[in-house]
Amino acid sequence: MKVLVPVKRVIDYNVKVRVKSDHTGVDLANVKMSMNPFDEIAVEEAIRLKESGTATEVVAVSIGPEKAQDQIRQALAMGADRGLLIKTDAEVEPLGVAKLLKAVVEAEQCELVILGKQAIDDDSNQTGQMLAAMLGWPQGTFASKVSKEGDKLSVTREIDGGLQTITLNLPAIVTTDLRLNEPRYASLPNIMKAKKKPLDVKEASEYGVDIAPRLEVLKVTEPPKREAGVKVENVAQLVEKLKNEAGVI
């Protein structure tokens, strides 16, 4: 079973994001970029499937700028077998990403795609679902456990009320939640070995799909600053404030 793992280059989760002064977006100049944390979990899961003999090959794909090769190399250093960069400097929305991934899935004849449930930059939480719909494949989203049972895939999902376990026919789509696993470190020897693993680069235009954005960004602003809390003297005052200031009772 060949597994495809899309990995996205995003602003590192430790970076304090700043909105550009002209409100057209966030400041990306000299900002540390990393692999989307949910994608790291996806890579880890795919490698575990390979180590347990379930998967035969793990292919990491990224859609993004030239520099997204760094994130693919990280996936290779963790243990993926080869990489593919679909190069574009334009912003690609989930729909465009799903269309490109569909083309890759078909070209590569993958049987399983493991994606992060969302990317921490735009928090869309759409790509996996859209890809499943376009391929007509079953989907197990927000996975906290994945195992192969016979010719099916058992996926435990994190849902509002608790956990839900479903069985999927293959081929299938899985999106990862935080508790699925703890990604391994890319060790120094493996970083050095990853430099020699194959990494293909293609232009997004080669796929002949329409990835033009459907959304127009009007304005990006900082979230309102949280105001300092107040201490109330007694219950009466609390009730008074909840009623008159917060308006919740």
Partner 1 sequence: MTGVLGFNTTRLASPHLTPAHEAWRQTVRTFVDREIMPHVNEWDEAGEFPRSLHKKAAEVGLIGVGYPEDLGGISEDIDVFHSMIAAEELSRTGAGGLVAGLMTHGIGLPPIIALGSEDLKRRIAPSVLSGEKLIALCVTEPSGGSDVANLKTRAVRDGDHYSVNGEKTFITTGMRADYLTVAVRTGGDGAAGISFLLVETDRPGVSRTPLKKMGWWMSDTASIHFDDVKVPVENLIGIENQGFLGIVANFNMERLSMSAQAVAFARVCIEDAAIWARERHTFGKPLAKHQVIRHKFSEMVRRVNATSAYLDNCAWRVKNGQSPISDLSLLKVQATRTMEFCAREAMQILGGAGFMRGHRVERIYREVRVMAIGGGSEEIMNDLAARQMGL
The residues binding partner 1 (CB under 8 A) are 15-16, 18, 27, 29-32, 34, 69-70, 73-74, 77, 185-189, 191-192, 194-195
Residue 94 or residue 183: which is nearer to partner 1 going by CB?
A: 183
Q: Among residues 140, 149, 125, which one has the least CA distance to residue 52?
A: 149
Residue 35 or residue 104: which is nearer to partner 1 going by CB?
A: 35
Residue 189 or residue 208: which is nearer to partner 1 going by CB?
A: 189
Q: Report the nearest approach of partner 1 to the CB of residue 134 (Å).
A: 33
Q: Report the nearest approach of partner 1 to the CB of residue 243 (Å).
A: 33
Q: Report the nearest approach of partner 1 to the CB of residue 201 (Å).
A: 14
Q: Report the nearest approach of partner 1 to the CB of residue 46 (Å).
A: 19
Q: Report the nearest approach of partner 1 to the CB of residue 199 (Å).
A: 12
Q: Report the nearest approach of partner 1 to the CB of residue 84 (Å).
A: 17
Sign of the alpha-carbon torsion through 138, 173, 176, 212: negative
Whether residue 110 contacts residue 171, with contact meaning beta carbons closer than 8 Å, is answered with: yes
- Cβ neighbours around 174 below 10 Å, total: 27
**H-type alpha helices, the chain:** 37-51, 69-78, 94-108, 127-135, 188-194, 235-241
Residue 77 or residue 98: which is nearer to partner 1 going by CB?
A: 77
Q: Report the nearest approach of partner 1 to the CB of residue 228 (Å).
A: 13
Which is it for strands 112-116 and 2-6: parallel, antiparallel or unpaired? parallel
Alpha-carbon distances, residue 218 vs 21, 89, 124, 158, 215 (angstroms): 14, 20, 17, 34, 9
Residue 125 or residue 190: which is nearer to partner 1 going by CB?
A: 190
Give the span between the Cα atoms of 216 and 203, in whole angstroms: 24
* Token pair for 54: 């379930």
Residue 41 or residue 101: which is nearer to partner 1 going by CB?
A: 41
Rg over CA atoms, the chain: 21
As beta bridge partners, residue 158 has 163
Residue 13 or residue 169: which is nearer to partner 1 going by CB?
A: 13
Phi and psi of 18, rounded to 5°?
A: -120, 135
* Token pair for 238: 């609390």
